[in-house]
């Protein structure tokens, strides 16, 4: 029994010595998370939220006052250009058109009678011309006979009177013809007036019929069948029968943070998702970048705001979808992810690996300060860079600060332009360790998985 106790004690002592040696060996080491640099495709994406909007949206209003007699469509229906969508009572307008058509018919009849009278007058003129020619020949013959003493004075005077009478009759007939022509022209003028009045009456009748101005979809119908609608006067808006949206060209109108708007340009590609259609992505491109800042709290342009309060601002960006879809409806909430920059096969590193570090100040006897943008006592400005894991002469891993220049930023990685090469291993965290890490510090990889907070913990 005593022998067993001695063996157990020896094992405990040996284990303690081993643990002590391991502890001593690991003392002075900093546990860090690392990642190796690789080449990959990077894209800078700017997100904005907003809603689906058609490029053209029109309120079909009432053009006459009256009661809505019938709607031929309902909200959500698709309509074609020229399609009748609603009618307003038109008893008076239809009566005006019918009365004017009757007046035009009567005017045409009057013109026909005047034309007949004109023909009669023309025939009368021709008759008097022929009769006058006969009387002229009789008069000339009578002059010769009277000069020869063959015709009596009484007969000579009769021939002269007959000739003069026919001249007057011909003048009267010509005047009657001119009067008939004038009456015909006047009747034609009155007919033109009647036709113009009919056109005006027909226009008023047509205004009682609401027509779709383009192919689209009915998005709103604020008026019910049987209600009375009015037209707008001066500064008072008239009744709106319905709202039509042209869905042939659909846009996503989103708001983008002021810090990102400088990177957005016309034509940049975008992926648009709609909350109501999960799992589907619509391709599009930027077609408008607003130049007016909008207050985030009110959505009012800063140029129109009377308050001087400083607050976050957004800018309007319009993304036009490349392929419209029948699933989309105006007003649906949407998110647009706009690709502002893209590069293929570039060296990249995790964004969290970047830090600001100030090298030791001259005369500090090699003392290293913590990585900070304002290191106390340092006279050397802090630089952007990463800590690279490198082995020292004894084979131990140490941190080496390497300044780097960066390019475009992806979702989790950033492009490395200078300072590093593929395959190098850099320190990525933890954040609290990285912000106080010093150049030359001994490192050890942390192989333990991070603790995941329990559900429900804040």
In this predicted structure, what is the pLDDT of residue 242? 93
Tokens standing for 76? 């959500």
Residue 406 has what pLDDT?
92
Residue with the two structure tokens 């850099």 = 426
Residue 365's pLDDT is what?
53
Report the C-alpha dihedral over residues 319, 321, 322, 326, rounded to 10 degrees. -170
Q: List, in order, residues 6 or more apart from 310 with CB less than 8 Å away.
A: none
| CATH, domain 30-43+347-445, list 3.40.50.720, 2.60.40.10, 2.40.420.20, 3.40.50.970 | 2.40.420.20
Classify 247-342 by CATH class.
mainly beta
Cα→Cα distances 313→123, 258, 409, 430, Å? 90, 6, 23, 33
pLDDT of residue 261: 92
d(CA 392, CA 263): 43
- Nearest Cα to Cα of residue 66 among 220, 241, 233, 222: 241
Domain ranges of the chain: 30-43+347-445, 56-88+214-240, 92-206, 247-342
If 0-12 CB within 10 Å is exposed, 13-18 middle and 19+ buried, where does residue 374 land? exposed
At residue 243, the pLDDT reads 93
Residues of the chain below pLDDT 70 = 1-10, 12-28, 303-309, 360-380, 448-458
**Residue among 57, 52, 58 at smallest CA distance from 253:** 52
Q: Domain 92-206, what fold?
A: Helix Hairpins (1.10.287)
Domain 56-88+214-240 coded CATH 2.40.50.100: yes
Query: Do 332 and 272 contact (CB within 8 A), yes or no?
Result: no
277-295 vs 269-274, strand pairing mode: antiparallel
């Amino acid at each position: 029994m005593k022998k067993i106790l001695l063996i157990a004690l020896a094992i405990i002592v040996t284990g303690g010595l081993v643990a002590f040696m391991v502890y001593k060996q690991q003392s002075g080491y900093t546990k860090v998370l690392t990642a190796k640099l690789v080449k990959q495709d990077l894209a800078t994406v700017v997100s904005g939220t907003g809603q689906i909007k058609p490029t053209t949206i029109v309120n079909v209003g009432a053009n006459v006052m009256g009661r809505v007699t019938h709607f031929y469509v309902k909200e959500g229906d698709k309509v074609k250009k020229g399609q009748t969508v609603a009618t307003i009572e038109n008893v008076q307008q239809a009566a005006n058109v019918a009365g004017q058509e009757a007046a035009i018919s009567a005017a045409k009849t009057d013109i026909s009678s005047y034309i007949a009278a004109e023909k009669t007058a023309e025939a009368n003129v021709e008759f008097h011309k022929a009769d006058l020619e006969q009387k002229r020949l009789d008069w000339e013959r009578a002059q010769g006979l009277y000069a020869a003493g063959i015709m009596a004075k009484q007969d000579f005077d009769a021939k002269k009177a007959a000739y003069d009478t026919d001249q007057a009759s011909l003048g009267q007939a010509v005047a009657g013809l001119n009067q008939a022509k004038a009456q015909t022209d006047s009747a034609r003028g009155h007919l033109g007036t009647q036709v113009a009045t009919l056109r005006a009456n027909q226009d008023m009748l047509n205004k009682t019929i609401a027509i779709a101005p383009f192919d689209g979809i009915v998005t709103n119908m604020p008026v019910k069948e049987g209600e009375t609608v009015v037209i707008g006067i001066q500064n008072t808006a008239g009744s709106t029968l319905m709202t039509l949206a042209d869905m042939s060209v659909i846009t996503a109108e989103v708001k983008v943070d002021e810090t990102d708007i400088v990177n957005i340009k016309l034509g940049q590609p975008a992926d648009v998702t709609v909350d109501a259609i999960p799992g589907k992505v619509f391709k599009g491109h930027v077609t408008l970048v607003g130049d007016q800042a909008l207050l985030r709290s009110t959505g009012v342009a800063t140029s129109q705001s009377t308050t001087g309060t400083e607050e976050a601002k957004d800018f309007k960006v319009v993304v036009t979808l490349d392929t419209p879809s029948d699933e989309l409806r105006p007003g649906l909430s949407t998110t647009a992810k706009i690709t502002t920059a893209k590069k293929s096969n570039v060296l990249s590193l995790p964004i969290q690996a970047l830090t600001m570090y100030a090298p030791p100040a001259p005369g500090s006897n090699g003392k290293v300060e913590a990585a900070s943008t304002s290191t106390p006592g340092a006279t050397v400005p802090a630089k952007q860079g990463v800590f690279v894991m490198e082995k020292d002469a004894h084979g131990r891993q140490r941190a080496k600060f390497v300044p780097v220049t960066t390019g475009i930023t992806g979702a989790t990685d950033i492009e490395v332009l200078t300072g590093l090469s593929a395959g190098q291993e850099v320190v990525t965290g933890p954040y609290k360790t990285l912000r106080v890490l010093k150049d030359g510090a001994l490192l050890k990889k942390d192989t333990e998985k991070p603790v995941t907070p329990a559900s429900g913990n804040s």
